[in-house]
Amino acid sequence: MDVIVFPELTISGYTWDEKTLERGARFFEEVVRKKLLRLSREGQIVIVTGTPRIVLGKLRNSLVIFKKKRELLFYDKTHLFRGEKDVFEPGEYFLVFSHRGVIFGTLICYEIGFPEISRILTLKGSKVILSSFAFGKERGHTYDIATRARAVENGVFLVASSMCGKGFVEFVGRTRIVAPNGKVLRELETSEGVIFEDIDPDIVYHYRYDEEGDSHAYLKNYRAHMYSLQKGRL
């Protein structure tokens, strides 16, 4: 197993309570950081987990990527949901990284509803998008549609690690791995657990560029110049 992905704010649990988030950020720095880095090095794996962290005195909702090295990669959630805006500072950039010759993109929960993010990650070379969720069960239909749609639109594998059970809200669960044709390859229902799948990242080229069979070839026919903003017009 090369890449392991955990849900949004795994270290603290999903909440909008600042004190809990601050304690989670300290726990990450004092305990979790060293332990997961050691596991990443010893197992020769990439570990992606959600954590609160403090940057210049402000809380951020982050993914941290352990890549077997001492230097960690961080992605800070750029589009914040409801009460998150009252406790978190949004991030300013999107993150892709390379592992064993494959480029991965990252996003967090609510950002699945902004197709531009997944498209940017794809145009930056991502063949797999790693996403962490703490998605409410009452919006489960949105989670189902959006995770599959982002995979189809971009011809990418999408790994969605999704919190389950009851806590801040009742979470949707349904951790899943979605293929570039939108098929759900593996899925947990509402319980905790682990799913895994061996994938061939190079099959994304078929779904992006081949105009045959079950391919949609959206990227082959993508007219980038049509999407730039023009003065006075959207």
What does the pLDDT look like over 139-160, one tens digit per residue? 999 999 999 999 999 999 999 9
Domain assignment of residue 25, given as a range: 3-227
pLDDT tops 70 at residue 232: no
Inside any domain, residue 205: yes
The CATH number linked to 38 is: 3.60.110.10
Inside any domain, residue 111: yes
Cβ neighbours, 10 Å, residue 74: 15
- Closest CA relative to residue 3, chosen from 204, 117, 151, 159: 159
Rounded-to-integer distance, Cα 161 and Cα 137, Å: 14
pLDDT tops 80 at residue 176: yes
Confidence band for 191, pLDDT divided at 50, 70 and 90: confident
pLDDT tops 60 at residue 123: yes
What does the pLDDT look like over 32-51, one tens digit per residue? 999 999 999 999 999 999 99
pLDDT tops 70 at residue 136: yes
For the entire predicted model, the pTM comes to 0.96
The confidence score (pLDDT) of residue 234 equals 46
The structural domain count of the chain equals 1
The residue among 136 and 69 whose pLDDT is bigger is 136
Whole-number Cα distances in Å, 9 to 61, 135, 150, 203: 7, 12, 22, 31
Both structure tokens of 140:
């489960």
Inside any domain, residue 232: no
pLDDT tops 80 at residue 21: yes
Whole-number Cα distances in Å, 43 to 1, 91, 134, 194, 233: 9, 30, 27, 17, 52
∠129-183-219 over CA atoms, to 5°?
Answer: 55
pLDDT tops 60 at residue 233: no
Rounded-to-integer distance, Cα 223 and Cα 231, Å: 19
The residue among 146 and 229 whose pLDDT is bigger is 146
Inside any domain, residue 109: yes
